[in-house]
Amino acid sequence: MPDQKTLDARTAGADAGPIRFFDLETPKKMLRADIEKRWQKILDHGAFIGGPEVGELEAQLAGWAGAKHALAVASGTDALVIALMGEEVNANDAIFIPGFTYNATANAVLVAGATPIFVDVEADTCNMDPAHLEAQVEAVVREGKLRPRMVIAVDLYGLPANYPAIHKIARKHGMLVLADAAQSFGGAQNGVRIGALTDMTATSFYPSKTLGCYGDGGAMLTDDAARFERWSSIRWHGTDAVKKESIRVGVNGRLDSVQCAVLLSKLTVFAEEMKARDRIAQRYRQGLGNSVKMQRVPEGYQNAWGLFTVMVENRADIMKRLQDKGIPTSIYYFKALHQHRAFAAHAPKGGLPVCEKLADTVLSLPMHPYLTDGQVDRIVAEFKAVV
């Protein structure tokens, strides 16, 4: 084992090293031998689609989340689409979604044939505003053209949405709640993990997510056995259990064995990575103090820290000056959903003021489990110097 002087030198070198916005290289090197061993097994058994790795992954995902059922699918978007198809939504069904998130949420609603209703978000949590959700639902009811059917609550940047309040509104109007947990897998609310908080949950395994594979991937979780069976059928072209007859409209939404093997390997370090993300986030928050507005984490909420995001007014200048210091940043997202041309027909009258403001001010700083304390301190110091 190296002596303390050698270990200190290595730490100092890492602290002074290049800062990555996301770090896919470190875990790849760390897990490469294990991943290649798992891939070799796939080459040997030859079940590239529907191999034993799929069922093993689904069991581990359900176990982690505390859900009864998990289904591995081809992407986070497929997870959303299949969930909507499983409820047989149509153009008369209103699906309420936050106006500030990735376009996949809106695309899924439209691809599934339903009608998106955009809801403003809270300025401090960046998540769906329950008060505006209730107002939007009541407006739909008054108009009488659409049936309130489902709420898709996005856990933006890794922070769980206000599910207690959202569930109360949904139950009042006979709606289901689908959690879009593309950025929040690994998080929790009041001791219950993401995946077991709502009627159903969709998550993404895009490489940069809290749990990521080496391509596209996703999963769906629920406690409802009948819903899980519908999803399983839809995922495989809508076929029956023996794959001989299409019993409903379906898609090719399978996650292949190779990607499942990557995720099984990643799960061996996932708990430690989540601890590291939280430690890094707390170091950011303590270091930044009152120098900038940050996402509020309500009591009892465990943020998965898929991204670490602040709000600034002079964003372009700050990004340029940080880049000059070797600190990468990014923007999630440049526009509110109703500001996209593809979704403009569904824009609410008067717009969504908070969503629009966030689109102009949010800025994400580097966040991954392999940032060193020294690197975080460098980022904080340089950021405070330019704001």
Per-residue pLDDT tens for 161-177? Answer: 999 999 999 999 999 99
pLDDT category of residue 9 using cuts at 50, 70 and 90? very low
Per-residue pLDDT tens for 183-237? Answer: 999 999 999 999 999 999 999 999 999 999 999 999 999 999 999 999 999 999 9
Judged against a pLDDT cut of 90, whether residue 6 lies above it is answered with no
Structure tokens, 62: 């359900």
pLDDT category of residue 362 using cuts at 50, 70 and 90? very high
Q: What is the pLDDT of residue 15?
A: 84
Q: What is the pLDDT of residue 2?
A: 40
For each of the domains in the chain, give its residue range(s) and CATH number, in order of start. 4-20+269-386 (3.90.1150.10), 31-264 (3.40.640.10)
What integer is the mean pLDDT of 65-71? 98
Judged against a pLDDT cut of 60, whether residue 4 lies above it is answered with no
Cα-based distances in Å from 148 to 90, 143, 337: 11, 11, 20
What integer is the mean pLDDT of 328-355? 97
What single letter denotes the amino acid at residue 371? L
Judged against a pLDDT cut of 70, whether residue 8 lies above it is answered with no
Q: What sign does the CA torsion over 57, 281, 12, 23 have?
A: positive
Per-residue pLDDT tens for 24-36? Answer: 999 999 999 999 9
Judged against a pLDDT cut of 90, whether residue 10 lies above it is answered with no
Per-residue pLDDT tens for 83-103? Answer: 999 999 999 999 999 999 999
Q: Give CB contacts under 8 A, 24+ apart, made by 340-344.
A: 340/103, 340/106, 342/103, 342/106, 342/107, 343/103, 343/106, 343/110, 343/116, 343/118
Torsion, Cα of 73, 75, 77, 78 (10° steps): -30
- The side-by-side arrangement of strands in the sheet containing 188-189 is 192-193, 188-189, 301-302
Cα-based distances in Å from 105 to 56, 115, 118, 125, 330: 28, 12, 11, 18, 20
Q: What is the pLDDT of residue 13?
A: 58
pLDDT category of residue 12 using cuts at 50, 70 and 90? low
pLDDT category of residue 275 using cuts at 50, 70 and 90? very high
Q: What is the mean pLDDT of the chain?
A: 96
pTM of the complete model: 0.95
